[in-house]
Amino acid sequence: MLALRKSNERGQANHGWLKSFHTFSFASYRDPREQGFSDLLVINDDRVAPAKGFGQHPHRDMEIFSYVLEGALEHQDSLGTGSVIRPGDVQLMSAGRGVTHSEFNHSADAPVHFLQIWIVPSVQGAQPRYQQQHFTNEEKRGRLRLIISPEGTDGSLSVRQDARVYAGLFNGEERAELTLAEDRYAYVHVAQGSITLNGQKLVEGDGVRVRNERTLALTEGDNAEVLVFDLRPHELPGMA
């Protein structure tokens, strides 16, 4: 079963320097029907003006990853990490028992467009850690490349949850299929472009909750960039 979350139904915030779309409830945007899905809690689609950003702020007990679509994002944290994240890079910060960080647009003249995604960890109070890995377009072209997994399989980043994240680029006749275990959920998010999922047309910003499906077929991409989350069959209260 596919349950569509349309791009234009997402929450919106415009702070001038920051324009954000919220797939699920976040900050001042609250929708009792959209509190996350399984262990996937946040998908924020952020556009930050040149030389602007988020100052130092704390997190704990959350797996937070950033996926840059355009521009460059500068990261600093209390673990001593300093990095710049560009398209193709995946950054995963495990907040554990507590960490502070800042995120700024690295450019003085161009905006940065990125997704920030939160996954609820399976353990509390763990040691904070930082990971970053680059995945080339060739690795994602016409296929779903594993970028995050519990075990760090195949060069992916290691997340403290029974969740796997795949990224793919699709155009024209390129297609890919992902077979899910019988007892798994999935969430599909279209980061850019448009694509067809199991016969259903999706556009940029659309998301789909997937239950009781064994195969996900991605076809008819038009400059599409897609993230697919393989998740536990866990329902939040009132979200069945």
* Tokens found for residue 219: 């076809």
- pLDDT, one tens digit per residue, over 68-114 is 999 999 888 788 888 899 999 999 999 999 988 778 898 989 999 99
* Tokens found for residue 12: 């919106």
Look at strands 215-231 and 185-197 and give their pairing. antiparallel
Task: Please say if the pLDDT value at position 238 is more than 80.
Answer: no
Residues 117, 42: Cα–Cα separation, whole Å: 5
User: Alpha helices of 51-197 — where are they, by DSSP H?
Assistant: 137-140
Average pLDDT over every residue of 38-67? 92
- At residue 117 the predicted structure's pLDDT band, cuts being 50, 70 and 90, is very high
H or E stretch including 163?
none
Residues 205, 194: Cα–Cα separation, whole Å: 9
Q: What pTM does this model have?
A: 0.95
Query: What's the angle, vertex CA 123, arms to CA 129 and CA 79, rounded to 5?
Result: 15
Q: Using DSSP, state whether 95 is helix, strand or coil.
A: coil
Domains of the chain: 2-231 (2.60.120.10)
Residues 58, 79: Cα–Cα separation, whole Å: 12
Q: Compute the chain's Rg from CA coordinates.
A: 17
Query: Residue 235: CA atoms inside 13 Å, Cβ hemisphere, count?
Result: 8
Report the mean per-residue pLDDT for the chain. Answer: 93
Q: How far, in Å, are 24, 43, 62, 178, 185 from residue 235 at the CA level?
A: 15, 17, 18, 22, 10
